[in-house]
Structure 1
Amino acid sequence: MTSCMGFSYTVAAVIMLSSTLIFFGIVYTSYVQSNENIANANQKLVKSIYDLENTHVSITGYYYNSSSSLFIVNLTNNGSQVFNMSMANVLINGTMVKFNVSGPYLFPLQAVSISFKEPAGTYSLEIVMPDGYEIFREVVS
Structure 2
Amino acid sequence: MGFSYTVAAVIMLSSTLIFFGIVYTSYVQSNENLANANQKLVKNIYDLENTRVSIYDYYYNSSSSYFVINLTNNGSQVFNMSLANVLVNGSLVKFNVSGQFLFPLQTVSITFKEPAGSYAVEIVMPDGYEIFKKVVS
* TM-score calculated relative to the size of structure 2: 0.99
- 1-side partners of 2:46 and 2:14: how far apart? 48
- Displacement after TM superposition at 1:20 (Å): 0.4
- Displacement after TM superposition at 1:130 (Å): 0.3
Unaligned runs of 5+ in 2: none
**1:130 aligns to 2:126 (yes or no):** yes
- 2-side partners of 1:117 and 1:12: how far apart? 79
- 2-side partners of 1:80 and 1:41: how far apart? 23
* 1:13 partner SS: helix
Counterpart pick for 2:113 among 117, 135, 141: 117
**1:42 aligns to 2:38 (yes or no):** yes
- Displacement after TM superposition at 1:67 (Å): 1.0
* TM-score calculated relative to the size of structure 1: 0.96
- Displacement after TM superposition at 1:115 (Å): 0.3
1:71 is aligned to 67
- Displacement after TM superposition at 1:6 (Å): 1.0
Unaligned runs of 5+ in 1: none
1:53 is aligned to 49
Q: Which has the larger radius of gyration?
A: 1
The one-letter amino acid paired with 1:27 is V
* 2:116 partner SS: coil
Moved over 4 A (4+): none
The percent of aligned pairs where both chains have the same amino acid is 85
- 1-side partners of 2:18 and 2:59: how far apart? 69
* 1:103 partner SS: coil
**1:84 aligns to 2:62 (yes or no):** no
- Displacement after TM superposition at 1:50 (Å): 0.3
How many residue pairs match? The answer is 137
Aligned Cα root-mean-square deviation (Å): 0.4
Counterpart pick for 1:104 among 100, 114, 131: 100
